[in-house]
């Protein structure tokens, strides 16, 4: 990873894995896709010259995932928020560092681009920090009066990112009339090492302000209705969403929250990643030692449960019975508190599912219930 960089400079390598075949014939150049700001870009690393190049396709703004490399042929999957996944074949130039031709060989027949549009918004923090961040905004092409309701959608992780690829959940909500704002707040990967390192110790504050400012930015541009704003997120995105409805109780009308982090102090003793709690709260991690009371106090102080008493929004919780990452006890802590205080709260349990809620039946059920809940509680 690299530190702060100028626009369009190499921000570092952020990839989950490499294609099984990723080298050129000489074994000197490796090909893969990596997060580059808010897109998934094709890269090649020349181990002889120790240089990194972007494999650009002229006139194509989609995210691209390299699937295979054979000789000078590159097989990739490409998509955008308004274009479903397609399969493309690219031919590398003789030097192996550029694409000389690019052909789509299989694609979906639906034309979503005629109804929806998307853009990447660059944003500057309100706290004076020089680190910029971005948001991906998906909305209708038609001029809507009054403006569309706004779905604020922060990603989980927190050190992950939205990559301008096709997502069924975004398409579903956009098709129901929502403008969808996916925020790559400071701490997201693809923006340099300084961005990633800026968040630990500042969770519960920095990314919350970033996401909320992005929502305000869209509204000030007249692209969304200030009186119809809702939040949606899972895992750390759920952590952020609870913070949003707690810290800005008069701004967000409703929220749908999947398997969230609610209380970092309690999560430390129940999750399969206790080190995550220490890292993000910036406290020492040592399983061979008893955590100090001050460490637990610091984790708790950054947790969204500390703002639960201010929540006015209608909250739908979607929890998985077999989630080891964010155990259902996290969401239930918020549920019992809001239920006891008379807040509008509903809990859906998926006993046999785990962290992503991604089996066919549960994903569909969660999506439909999310849409119903958010639409019913816009006013």
The residues carrying an active-site annotation are 235, 323, 355
CB 113 within 8 A of CB 78: no
The sheet carrying 314-320 orders its strands as: 116-123, 133-140, 179-184, 150-154, 229-235, 254-260, 314-320, 345-350
Q: How far is CA 267 from CA 197, 276, 300, in A?
A: 22, 9, 10
- The tally of CA atoms less than 13 A away on the side-chain side of residue 197 is 7
- In 3D space, the residue among 137, 122, 216 whose CA is nearest the CA of residue 170 turns out to be 137
- In 3D space, the residue among 120, 115, 117, 142 whose CA is nearest the CA of residue 41 turns out to be 120
* Number of residues in the chain: 379
The pair of three-digit structure tokens given for residue 239, joined into one six-digit string: 């952590």
E strand or H helix at 234: strand 229-235
Distance CA 116, CA 141 (A): 5
CB atoms inside a 10 Å sphere around CB 300: 15
CB 11 within 8 A of CB 190: yes
CB 292 within 8 A of CB 267: no
DSSP states of 246-276 as a string? HHSTTT--EEEEEEE---HHHHTTTSS-HHH
- The tally of CA atoms less than 13 A away on the side-chain side of residue 189 is 17
- In 3D space, the residue among 320, 169, 172, 213 whose CA is nearest the CA of residue 259 turns out to be 320
DSSP 95: T
């Amino acid at each position: 990873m690299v530190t702060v960089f100028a626009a369009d400079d190499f921000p570092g390598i952020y990839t989950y894995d490499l294609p099984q075949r990723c080298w050129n014939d000489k074994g000197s150049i490796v090909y893969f896709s990596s997060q580059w700001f808010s897109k998934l870009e094709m890269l090649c690393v020349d181990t002889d010259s120790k240089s990194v190049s972007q494999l650009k396709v002229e006139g194509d703004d989609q995210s691209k995932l390299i699937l295979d490399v054979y000789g000078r042929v590159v097989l990739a999957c490409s998509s955008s928020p308004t274009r479903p996944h397609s399969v493309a074949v690219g031919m590398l130039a003789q030097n192996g560092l550029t694409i000389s031709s690019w052909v789509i060989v299989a694609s979906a027949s639906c034309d979503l681009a005629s109804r929806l549009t998307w853009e990447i918004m660059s944003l500057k923090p309100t706290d004076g920090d020089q680190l910029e961040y971005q948001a991906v905004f998906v909305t209708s092409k038609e001029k809507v009066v009054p403006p569309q309701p706004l779905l604020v959608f922060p990603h989980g992780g927190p050190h992950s990112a939205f990559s301008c690829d096709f997502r069924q959940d975004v398409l579903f909500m956009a098709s129901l009339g929502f403008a969808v704002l996916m925020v790559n707040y400071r701490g997201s990967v693809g923006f340099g090492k300084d961005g990633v390192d800026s968040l630990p110790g500042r969770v519960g504050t920095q990314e919350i302000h970033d996401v909320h400012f992005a929502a305000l930015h869209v509204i000030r541009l007249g692209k969304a209705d200030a009186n119809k704003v809702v939040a949606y997120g899972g895992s750390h995105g759920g952590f952020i969403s609870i913070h949003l409805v707690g810290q800005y109780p008069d701004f967000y009308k409703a929220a749908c929250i999947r398997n969230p982090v609610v209380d970092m102090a309690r999560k430390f003793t129940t999750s399969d990643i206790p080190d995550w709690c220490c890292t993000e709260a910036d406290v020492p991690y040592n399983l061979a030692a008893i955590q100090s009371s001050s460490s637990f106090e610091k984790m708790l102080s950054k947790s969204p449960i500390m703002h639960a008493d201010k929540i006015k929004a209608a909250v739908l919780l979607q929890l998985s019975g077999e989630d080891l990452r964010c155990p259902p006890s996290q969401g239930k802590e918020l549920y019992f508190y809001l239920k006891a205080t008379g807040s509008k709260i509903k809990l859906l349990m998926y006993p046999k599912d785990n962290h992503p809620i991604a089996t066919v039946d549960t994903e569909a059920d969660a999506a439909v219930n999310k849409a119903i809940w958010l639409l019913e509680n816009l006013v």
